[in-house]
Structure 1
Amino acid sequence: MWLFDVYLILHCIYIAQGAKILGIFPVLSKSHYTVGNVLLKELARRGHDVTMISPFEENNKPPNASYRDIKLKFEIDKEVKGLNFFSRTTSHPYLSTLFLNYIGCRIVDQSLKQPIIQKLLNSDEKFDVVIMDQFVVDGFSYFAEHFGAHKILLAPTVANSWVNPLVGNPAPPSVVPELLMEYTSDMDFFERLQNTIFYLFAELNRHLYFFPRQNSIIQQNVPNAKPLSDYLYNVSLVLVNGHESFTYSASSVPAMKNVGGFHVSATGKLPDDLKKYMDNAKEGVIFFSMGSHLQSSQFPIEIRDAILRVFSTLKVKILWKWEHEELPGKPENVKLGKWFPQQEILAHPNLKLFITHGGLLSLIEAIHHGVPLLSIPVRGDQKLNAAIAEKMGYAIKIIYDDFEENKFKNALDELLANPVYKKNAVYRSTLFHDRPMKPLDEAVYWVEYVLRHEGAKHLRVSSLKLSWYQYILLDVSIFLLAVAGLVIYVSKLLFKKLCCNKTTRKTKIKRS
């Protein structure tokens, strides 16, 4: 018996400490890459052999660790970089869905065509687990099937209808807002109506177009590949970039874990010039950044000038992430920079406010440091994030499409003068930090848990075995309706027969 115990211990040590891990984060967004890269570098530090597929390259690889980059090159990269995402058409949820279809299919197709990927697929390499970005690139699920590896999804957003069905997580549109909408979990009738209509549209889009298109791309690029439907739902674990401190509380099946905020690192030191600038800002500092993908320099001139006019009336100093060398009409209290160390700035005690696009990573970093927000969401999940932040009381949102100078000025004045926003931000920060273990440690724990337990099939819910019509009890409902109809029909016949018999008897009595 003791030999068996020793074997189990050695087996667990071998699996948990020496696994080969393939990370796939092909989306052309630095924020998606950042989340995946933080986790994969930590896994490499802990003794795992890590390979990362992405369009980016890691310049600070963990020392004394096995970490390899496979860099993708996309033709679509130029198309995306050439887009102005402040165009109002990109913010419409239905048009955004179609745009994401296009982007996701192009990424998977162009990736599979690259010689470096074909070389990997045709090699003798083996992987124990595949960790992939869960965002319109479902065709990469083929890699887990090809290498016989366990599949772990990393959702860079909060749990949503793109990922919930893959592990059977219940998410009715009555309480779970769609990712591209701007509602919270507390919706009135018309919001629930619109949310449900969009949910149905998104589901039909996925099943009638997106998944078949992804499957077609796999078949075109990988001879003899199995259909995507054979392994799409073969998911061991979903790591969700969410937490109750900064998003709505929702149901989670055992295979879905909220580890939001694990990308936040211990802040380093500010550069000397920035430290001096912020230390001397007795009235405080506002930090303004539209993230890594949106560029403030692409603001329409009328919005840019409106922002500058409002900034010129403030006593506080402004740090503005601005991608050009010059900004016409820049007030004296505004300092420009093409790049700023965001987490270090958010940690400074003189920072009063963060003006952001509402990207989830920026929101999480603000909550980590207890900083109130003015959110100007433009597209994607930014509207949802901004709506939740405003409802939680530490932010004010101004939808980009509705931007007005007076709204902007009034929001800034309110946030700077009313201490309740800072109080609520600090409260949310307390909730964020009050966890049984650090989120990065928890994320690593669950990855290694899947490895230790050979895919952790015991975490999967039985609803995954049902087809969609069985899950919503459509077959049962039809059966019950059929039985009810039959009972009514038979009852009607019996009633009619009884009535006829009674009439016949009365007629015979009268005749006699």
Structure 2
Amino acid sequence: MGAYSHFTLGFRLSKELAGRGHEVSFITAFHLERPVKNLREIFIHEIVGSLTEQKKGLYDMGKMTYLGQLRWVSNMGNFYTDLVLNNKDVQKLLTSNEQFDLVLMEDFVNKAMTIFAHRFNCPLIILAPGPTTVFNNDLFVNPSPSSYVPNLLANFGSDMTFWKRLKNTYYDIAGQLFLHYALLPEQNAILKEAVPNAPDLKSIIYNASFMLTASHISLRDASPLQPNIKEIGGYHVGPLKQLPKDLQVFLDNAKEGVIVFSMGSNLKSADFPKAKKDAVLKTFAKMKQKVLWKFEDDLPEKPDNVKIMNWIPQQEVLAHPNVILFITHVGLLGTIEAIYHGVPLLGLPVFWDQEKNIEEAVLKGFALKISFPELNEDNFACAVNELVSNPKYRQTAKMRSKIMHDQPVKQMDEAMFWIEYVIRHKGAPHLRSPGLNLRWYQLYLVDVALVVLSSITVLFVGIFYACKRVFSWKHEKSKKE
């Protein structure tokens, strides 16, 4: 996937595996800065440039309907899946005699990539770039009741009203239908064209052994997880690098605190409409705190307390004790980094899971939300001042941070354990749910419900006609008398 945040998720695991002595072949859309021992890079250079034009529409994506967002993201997934599978180096790999012990695949609208595990006849571990969703629960028969597990694109938490539960049910059912009748057939066509002898996609996608999710209980509400699904959210954080000297001085000298502002690796602050940019600048000009803003262009009108940078070493900056607020688009990785370091959030969600991420943070008590289309000077200034002046947000953020850190092993160590566990146990089939052996109507007891309803119907019909016969007999008898 041609987004740096997705690259980070894959690279951190690949680098760690290589460092522990495994020989890793890493298919990536981003060229590695320096060679890594035991890690072979298969660089798909055309992905990032090809997706650049599509990314320009991200600020409008949040205005789309639920199905519109699914269609937009699946089109992007189909595009880069096709690029990867038809890349000459990937084709060479797929037709080679190489042997592998495991395939680790990021699952993001690219189901055709499961061909690697089938081709090399080895276990498959799914890396979900977020929590379990309608797109991956069925791979493990993981229960996800619509009554209290919000859909990935829902703008509410688990405590739902009737209407929210109704909306959530629609999201889940529509998502399942989209997955099975749009995304999977399209991915299957891409697979068949790139790998002519490939089996039907639906015959191999349910062979995954395990799933690691990039989410964490410190952010979201508890929900069911099968034994072969583990949360490792936060594993990508660290080790922290030394900050550039000028940035270190800027942060150290911020006696009133620092506000960090970043819209992530896909969205650009430089693309803000003028009215929204002016609203932000006017607010910052009135603040006594310093502001570090990831801004990708010149900004001559910025006030003196604002420092702009084309790229921010976000983890290292958020770890600085003088940082008191993180203004963000609420991508999952940035949200997790803020929780990891105990920094409250002001969320400006734009698209996809960002609404859900900020809703959960607001409900947990360490964030406020302004949907990006609604951003103006009044609500932005009000939210920033509330978060900066009210200590309850930072106290709650520190409490959520303790939850993330309070576990028996570090997230990366847990990831390594389960990856090597699956290798040791040849796919760990003992963790596989028996539900995968059932058809959908058996899994959801539709056949049982039909038999029970049919039996009850027959019983009531029988009682009705029996009563009718009795009344008719009595009526005839009374007439004769």
Same fold (TM over 0.5): yes
SS at match of 1:87: helix
Matches within 5 A, 1:222-237: 222-237=195-210
- Does the 8 Å contact 1:377/1:400 carry over to 2? yes
> Which deviates more from structure 2 when the two are superposed, residues 472-481 or residues 441-450?
472-481
Structure 1 distance, partners of 2:409, 2:265, is 29
Structure 2 distance, partners of 1:91, 1:150, is 40
Q: 1:373 to 1:392 in 2, by over 3 A?
A: same
Match of residue 438 from structure 1: 410
> Which deviates more from structure 2 when the two are superposed, residues 187-196 or residues 43-52?
187-196
Are 1:354 and 2:309 matched, yes or no?
no
User: So what's the TM-score if we normalise by structure 1?
Assistant: 0.91
Shift in Å, 1:379:
0.8
Shift in Å, 1:91:
4.4
SS at match of 1:131: strand
Are 1:269 and 2:246 matched, yes or no?
no
Matched residue count: 480
Structure 2 distance, partners of 1:75, 1:52, is 15
Match of residue 309 from structure 1: 282
Structure 2 distance, partners of 1:399, 1:75, is 30
Shift in Å, 1:90:
4.3
Structure 1 distance, partners of 2:49, 2:458, is 61
For residue 168 of structure 2, what is the amino acid of its counterpart? N
Structure 1 distance, partners of 2:436, 2:377, is 50
**Which residue of 166, 176, 183 maps to 1:210?**
183
**Which residue of 211, 215, 218 maps to 1:245?**
218
For residue 107 of structure 2, what is the amino acid of its counterpart? Q
SS at match of 1:60: coil
Shift in Å, 1:236:
0.6
- Does the 8 Å contact 2:61/2:351 carry over to 1? no
After superposition, what is the alpha-carbon deviation per residue over 1:133-191, rounded to whole angstroms, capped at 9, x for unaligned?
11111111111111101010001112211111111111011111111221111122222
SS at match of 1:318: strand
Match of residue 55 from structure 1: 29
SS at match of 1:118: helix
For residue 100 of structure 1, what is the amino acid of its counterpart? V
Gaps of 5+ in 2: none
SS at match of 2:207: coil
Match of residue 177 from structure 1: 150
**Which residue of 298, 302, 315 maps to 1:330?**
302
Are 1:157 and 2:141 matched, yes or no?
no
Gaps of 5+ in 1: 1-26
- Does the 8 Å contact 1:358/1:377 carry over to 2? yes
Are 1:455 and 2:427 matched, yes or no?
yes
Match of residue 30 from structure 1: 4
Alignment RMSD: 1.6
Matches within 5 A, 1:70-85: 70-74=42-46, 77-81=49-53, 83-85=55-57
- Sequence identity (%): 41
Match of residue 121 from structure 1: 94
Match of residue 352 from structure 2: 380
Match of residue 362 from structure 2: 390
For residue 237 of structure 2, what is the amino acid of its counterpart? V
Are 1:424 and 2:424 matched, yes or no?
no
SS at match of 2:115: helix
SS at match of 1:68: strand
- Does the 8 Å contact 2:270/2:295 carry over to 1? yes
Structure 2 distance, partners of 1:342, 1:91, is 28
SS at match of 2:103: strand
SS at match of 2:105: strand
After superposition, what is the alpha-carbon deviation per residue over 1:187-214, rounded to whole angstroms, capped at 9, x for unaligned?
2222222121121111111111111111
User: So what's the TM-score if we normalise by structure 2?
Assistant: 0.96
Match of residue 255 from structure 1: 228
Match of residue 99 from structure 1: 72
For residue 167 of structure 1, what is the amino acid of its counterpart? F
Match of residue 191 from structure 1: 164
Match of residue 121 from structure 2: 148
- Does the 8 Å contact 2:29/2:48 carry over to 1? no
Structure 2 distance, partners of 1:503, 1:279, is 99
Are 1:320 and 2:293 matched, yes or no?
yes
For residue 52 of structure 1, what is the amino acid of its counterpart? F
After superposition, what is the alpha-carbon deviation per residue over 1:325-357, rounded to whole angstroms, capped at 9, x for unaligned?
x11421111111111211111111111111111
Structure 2 distance, partners of 1:39, 1:79, is 24
Shift in Å, 1:404:
2.0
Are 1:68 and 2:68 matched, yes or no?
no
Shift in Å, 1:506:
4.0
Structure 2 distance, partners of 1:225, 1:376, is 43
For residue 110 of structure 2, what is the amino acid of its counterpart? V
- Does the 8 Å contact 1:91/1:380 carry over to 2? no
Shift in Å, 1:497:
2.9
- Does the 8 Å contact 2:81/2:110 carry over to 1? yes
Are 1:489 and 2:454 matched, yes or no?
no
SS at match of 1:336: strand
For residue 33 of structure 2, what is the amino acid of its counterpart? N
> Which deviates more from structure 2 when the two are superposed, residues 195-204 or residues 71-80?
71-80
Structure 2 distance, partners of 1:268, 1:114, is 34
After superposition, what is the alpha-carbon deviation per residue over 1:235-255, rounded to whole angstroms, capped at 9, x for unaligned?
110001122112221111101
Shift in Å, 1:505:
3.9
Structure 2 distance, partners of 1:200, 1:206, is 10
